[in-house]
Homo-oligomer: A and B are copies of this chain.
Amino acid sequence: MENGKEFLHNYIKKHGLKKSAQRDKILDIFLSVGGHLSVDNLTEIVKEKHPEIGYSTIYRSLYLMQKAGIAERVELGDGITRYENMLGNKRHYHFVCQQCGKLIEFYDPLIESKIKISAAEADFSIERYRLDAFGVCSECRKKNNHSPKTKNSEG
């Protein structure tokens, strides 16, 4: 997926850091899984394939990858920290299904331009932004209709 390793090595060289087998392995897994990978999930896979790699190395690599512009942290407020691959990934927003956890990406350039206009009006200089919508995806809504659950759990 893109030349991620090259990207990482570039960053490493440029910053006087050092390559390492662990970093490469973690990067490989991260890139190969794709999508929005939770730290937990990544850790699981890494540990499975390379039990000798420690947790801290994973966290540290994620941090590095973020700095290098390879990964971006995604926080959805559910306590799970995810990272998504930024290489060759277009800007996008998220629909988050609160039932199955699925993430659907969407984008609308008009939204972006409107945000920029609002920023200009507020004299605010935007570095990055996020737009996440929470709800229920199509599939889950269908499932709900077929086998409705008790609905008075809380309000």
Q: Interface of A with B (CB < 8 Å)?
A: 14-15, 67, 73, 75, 77, 93, 95, 97-98, 104, 106-108, 110-111, 114-115, 117-119, 121-138, 141, 154-155
Contacts and interface: CB of A to CB of B under 8 A. Distances in A.
Contacts of A124: 95, 97, 104, 133, 135-138
Nearest to A105: B122
Interchain residue pairs A-B with the least CB separation, the first 8 = A129-B133, A123-B138, A126-B135, A127-B135, A95-B124, A106-B118, A75-B77, A131-B131
A93 B119 CA distance: 11
A130 B131 CA distance: 6
A40 to B, nearest CB: 17
A82 to B, nearest CB: 12
Contact of A134 (B98, B111, B129, B137): B129
Contacts of A131: 115, 129-131
B114 A114 contact: yes
Given A115-B111, A138-B123, A132 B130 contact: yes
28 contacts: A67-B154, A67-B155, A73-B77, A95-B119, A95-B122, A95-B126, A97-B124, A104-B124, A106-B119, A106-B122, A107-B118, A108-B115, A108-B117, A108-B118, A110-B110, A111-B114, A115-B131, A115-B133, A119-B135, A124-B136, A125-B135, A125-B137, A126-B134, A128-B134, A129-B132, A129-B134, A130-B133, A131-B131
